[in-house]
Structure 1
Amino acid sequence: MPVRAKLAAAWTSFMFLYIYVDYLALYKPGFVDDILAGTVHEFDTGPTFVAIALTLIAVPILMILLSVTLPARVNRTINLVVATLYIPVSIFNAAGESWTYSYFYGLSIGLELLLLAFVLRSAWTWPRRTASPAPLAAGPDSEPLRRPQ
């Protein structure tokens, strides 16, 4: 499978997980009341909070597109940088949570970190072009194409 497709699939999975964790948090008793009162966790839900929240979800969404459209070298670098930056973001998302829901946030953060590790591994081990004695047809990720059998 091409590296670009793996990265796009990982970012898609990350994005859905990220969104559904926030969605499922709405089912916690008192959470909606806090939102209606203007706070999420310890933060006021003003324009700054909303802009930061949009940015945090827009980046993985854009990474889906960028993973399939950017040139390989830039793609690799961008994926390594963004996945590295999202590790502390994912961990910080559990800040201020009660121990009652620690298993929920522990599971979600664990899954997010596994997906980010997959992105890092896939981008880090992205195959480089190598000189070969005979020219080979190459796919979009610089991987030799295989003949169907």
Structure 2
Amino acid sequence: MDPSRIVLAGGWISLMLVYLLGDVLRIFAGDFRPGEMDGRPVAGWTWTLAAVVMLVPVAMIMLSLLAPAGPLRWTTLVAAVLLAVLNLAGLPYPGLYDNLLIVAGVALNAVVVWQAWAWRPGLAVTPPG
């Protein structure tokens, strides 16, 4: 398997874990109120939209391993840039830990973008045997 695919999948796994860590810390820090975002009640469709956004890294893990190289490269670039912009749009967050995790997430997105941009499918060296 092309090593770039593994690096991309690893980047998406890392990003997903950063998102989950932020959610867990938000709950334990008391910065989470059920049914609210930014102190305001939200409609049910908002939670569905949040679930869709959180599923992007999950889907990209599988796509990184299974999708054809050409479409994967562009899908990766678009998804990573959109997630980075979405995360940066909310800055600054109330907790220092949240801001730190957003910076880490954006850095991971940058690594994924760089890896996808620099990737030249078909140039991978296949080990003998």
TM-score, structure 2 normalization: 0.87
Give the number of the structure whose alpha-carbon radius of gyration is greater.
1
Query: Does residue 86 of the first structure (1) align with residue 83 of the second (2)?
Result: yes
Query: Does residue 145 of the first structure (1) align with residue 126 of the second (2)?
Result: yes
Aligned to 1:51: 48
Higher relative contact order (CA 8 A, sep 6+): 2
1:112 to 74, 97, 105: 105
1:65 to 55, 62, 68: 62
Q: 1:118-129 to 2 correspondence within 5 Å?
A: 118-129=111-122
Q: By how many angstroms is 1:41 displaced?
A: 1.4
Deviations 1:45-77 (A, max 9, x none): 321121111011111110000111111111111
Aligned to 1:133: none
Q: Kindly indicate whether the alpha-carbon contact (under 8 Å) linking 2:69 and 2:121 is maintained by their aligned counterparts in 1.
A: no
| Equivalent position SS for 1:53 | helix
Which amino acid counterpart does residue 76 of structure 1 have in structure 2?
Answer: R
Q: 1:1-80 to 2 correspondence within 5 Å?
A: 2-29=3-30, 31-32=31-32, 34-35=33-34, 38-80=35-77
Unaligned runs of 5+ in 2: none
* RMSD across aligned positions (CA): 1.9
* Identity fraction in percent: 26
| Equivalent position SS for 1:26 | helix
TM-score, structure 1 normalization: 0.77
Deviations 1:59-107 (A, max 9, x none): 1110000111111111111101111111111113445x33xx2x21221
